């Protein structure tokens, strides 16, 4: 958030782009998966206009949210990922 505030002090921000929701607004930071979904729904009018997401399926804070920001071993992480992620059918 400090980075966005520093830039907005001198410039008018017309678009935020990133590979992670945390790149876009503070409201997404350190939230559970459920809370991130709620925040995305609240900001839905901004996506495609002010917020552009370039998904990075390899890593990001979305992954930390799945792990509930905890210290998990690899087996626990794999189980959390399996339970949280769904594929297209």
Residue 89 has what pLDDT? Answer: 66
Q: Is the pLDDT of residue 88 over 70?
A: no
For the segment 5-34, the average pLDDT, to the nearest whole number, is 93
pLDDT in tens, 44-76: 999 999 999 998 878 888 888 889 898 999 999
Which residue in this structure is represented by tokens 């925040």?
39
10 Å CB burial of residue 28 (0-12, 13-18, 19+) is buried
pLDDT band at 84 (very low <50, low <70, confident <90, very high): confident
Farthest-apart Cα atoms in the chain, separation: 47
Between 7 and 56, residue with greater pLDDT: 7
Residue 21: its H or E element: none
State pTM to two decimals.
0.71
The terminus-to-terminus CA distance of the chain in angstroms comes to: 37
């Amino acid at each position: 958030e400090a980075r966005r505030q520093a830039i907005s002090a001198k410039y008018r921000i017309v678009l935020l782009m990133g590979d992670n929701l945390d790149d876009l607004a503070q409201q997404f930071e350190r939230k559970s998966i459920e809370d991130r979904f709620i925040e995305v729904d609240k900001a839905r009018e901004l996506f495609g206009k002010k917020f552009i997401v370039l998904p990075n399926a390899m890593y990001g804070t979305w992954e930390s949210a799945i792990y509930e920001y905890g210290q998990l071993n690899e087996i626990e992480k794999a189980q959390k990922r399996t339970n949280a992620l769904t594929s297209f059918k």
